[in-house]
């Protein structure tokens, strides 16, 4: 059996995402140390961290175009260099304003790396692009699981807190050098082949061609709503449990563990199903539909046991790789612009990551009384229902268009998926 020549490249990308999972929360893990270094308050540290979201919003405006023009390799190695500068700069930053600027730089690096990594994985595994991208979610989760353990161990050993930053910077520098030598797929040739397949499958009807203004717009909006489901749950589950069920703060925080377990299960089970020829577009309808009922359940069944179950369900169906599948489907529709479409969904995702926590804060406002807090978090659960329903509706639209653009002929879709190294 012929070995995939791009397997080492893919492994290096997955290793990067493990490091990224650590780096994206490394500031919050060192909040106390940064407060002392900057002479700042906890609130100012949070302001500095928020710069990541701003960078993620700005980056897609140019990253996708660059990826499709100069290639995936150069986007990845450029982002690795930017991450190294962020990590080393943070340990010598003199103020939270400089920390904020570095966080924006991190967000820009994230946008650039996404437009190099996701298309490369899709192009490296053309027969299973959905599974290839779903593993990214698992890699990030591994990093986020490891970093608290590493930080605690370093503190216990009385090693300088900056060692964590330096260690991650060294790993990224090694990955930068390695990726200069590893083989990358010929993305231009692959895109041309995919476009030819889509044209052949489109037949003679002009209506059957992919439309950026229809399914393209729907999928970008889906990138926003699907990310919103995830962010709302990850940020609000503990307080939903405390204020709607009367759980203790510790029990409320434990809901995130059930959410994370569901996310892990969702990644691997969905990846296995996609590898067995289940179409990624199907999950764009199924997952938000189930998440909708889970959010409704939180309002209808306010008890601790039910909340643990619903947290697991939301983790499985909302955080089990739904964003990665959205990237796959959009790139399947528009194979020539994989970098651009990845950046557009990244922009939508960045907006959601900023908008949902901010809007939740507005809803809670200055509420302090139990009745006020319960009312506020009922509204937040209602927002969860709203974004889940919106995702399901958009998913149905995309599924209908997918069946038009890609005929139901059993052979045709497989040919398109094989050539559509769009992940």
In this structure, the chain runs to a length of 423
Out of 198-207, 215-224, 286-295, 371-380, which region has the weakest mean confidence (pLDDT)?
198-207
* Average pLDDT value for residue range 16-24: 91
**CA 333 to CA 208: how far, in whole Å?**
11
* Average pLDDT value for residue range 130-148: 78
Locate 265 and state its tokens: 């299960």
DSSP 245-267: H---HHHHHHHHHHHHHHHHHHH
What is the chain's alpha carbon radius of gyration, rounded to the nearest angstrom?
Answer: 21
Domains and CATH numbers, the chain: 7-185 (1.20.1250.20), 190-419 (1.20.1250.20)
**CA 194 to CA 418: how far, in whole Å?**
9
Out of 109-118, 181-190, 293-302, which region has the weakest mean confidence (pLDDT)?
181-190
Query: Strands, E, within 332-418: which ranges?
Result: none
Locate 340 and state its tokens: 């651009």
Where does residue 203 fall: left (phi above 0), alpha (psi -120 to 50 degrees), or beta otherwise? left
pTM: 0.68
pLDDT digits (tens, 9 = 90+) for 245-280: 999 877 887 787 788 788 878 888 988 888 787 889
**CA 299 to CA 378: how far, in whole Å?**
7
Supply φ then ψ for residue 276, to 5 degrees.
-95, 25
Q: If pLDDT is split at 50, 70 and 90, which confidence band does 376 have?
A: confident
Out of 163-177, 207-221, 311-325, 375-389, which region has the weakest mean confidence (pLDDT)?
207-221
**CA 131 to CA 325: how far, in whole Å?**
9
Q: If pLDDT is split at 50, 70 and 90, which confidence band does 117 have?
A: very high
Return mean pLDDT, the chain: 83
Q: If pLDDT is split at 50, 70 and 90, which confidence band does 56 have?
A: confident
Name the one residue in this structure whose structure tokens are 């490249």: 9
Looking at per-residue pLDDT, the higher value among 54 and 409 belongs to 54
């Amino acid at each position: 059996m012929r070995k995939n020549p791009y397997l080492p490249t893919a492994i290096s990308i997955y290793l990067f995402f493990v490091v990224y999972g650590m780096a994206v929360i490394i500031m919050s893990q060192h909040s106390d140390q940064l407060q002392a270094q900057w002479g700042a308050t906890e609130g100012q540290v949070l302001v500095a961290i928020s710069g990541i979201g701003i960078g993620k919003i700005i980056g897609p405006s140019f990253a996708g175009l660059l990826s499709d023009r100069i290639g995936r390799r150069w986007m990845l190695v450029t982002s690795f260099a930017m991450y190294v500068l962020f990590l080393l700069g943070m340990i010598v930053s003199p103020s939270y304003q400089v920390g904020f600027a570095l966080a924006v730089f991190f967000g820009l690096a994230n946008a650039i790396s996404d437009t190099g990594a996701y298309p490369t994985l899709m192009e490296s595994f053309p027969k299973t692009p959905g599974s290839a991208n779903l593993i990214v979610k698992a890699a990030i989760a591994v990093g986020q699981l490891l970093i608290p353990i590493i930080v605690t161990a370093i503190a216990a050993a009385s090693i300088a807190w900056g060692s964590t930053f330096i260690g991650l910077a060294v790993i990224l520098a090694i990955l930068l050098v390695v990726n200069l030598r590893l083989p990358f797929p010929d993305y231009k040739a692959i895109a041309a082949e995919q476009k030819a397949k889509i044209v052949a499958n489109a037949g003679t009807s002009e209506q059957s061609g992919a439309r950026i203004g229809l399914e393209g717009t729907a999928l970008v909006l889906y990138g926003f709503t699907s990310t919103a489901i995830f962010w709302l749950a990850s940020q609000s589950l503990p307080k939903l449990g405390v204020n709607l069920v009367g759980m203790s703060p510790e029990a409320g925080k434990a809901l995130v563990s059930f959410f994370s377990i569901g996310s892990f299960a969702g990644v691997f089970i969905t990846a296995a199903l996609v590898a067995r020829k289940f179409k990624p577009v199907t999950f764009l309808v199924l997952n938000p539909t189930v998440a909708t009922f889970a959010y409704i359940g939180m309002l209808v069944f306010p008890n601790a046991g039910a909340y643990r179950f619903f947290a697991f369900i939301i983790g499985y169906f909302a955080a089990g790789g739904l964003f990665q599948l959205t990237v796959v489907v959009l790139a399947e529709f528009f194979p020539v612009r994989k970098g651009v479409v990845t950046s557009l969904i990244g922009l939508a995702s960045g907006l959601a990551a900023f908008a949902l926590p901010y809007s939740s804060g507005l809803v809670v406002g200055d509420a302090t009384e139990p009745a006020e807090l319960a009312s506020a978090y009922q509204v937040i659960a209602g927002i969860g229902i709203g974004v889940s329903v919106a995702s399901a509706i958009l998913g149905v639209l995309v599924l209908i268009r997918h069946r038009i653009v890609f005929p139901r002929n059993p052979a045709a879709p497989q040919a398109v998926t094989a050539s559509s190294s769009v992940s």
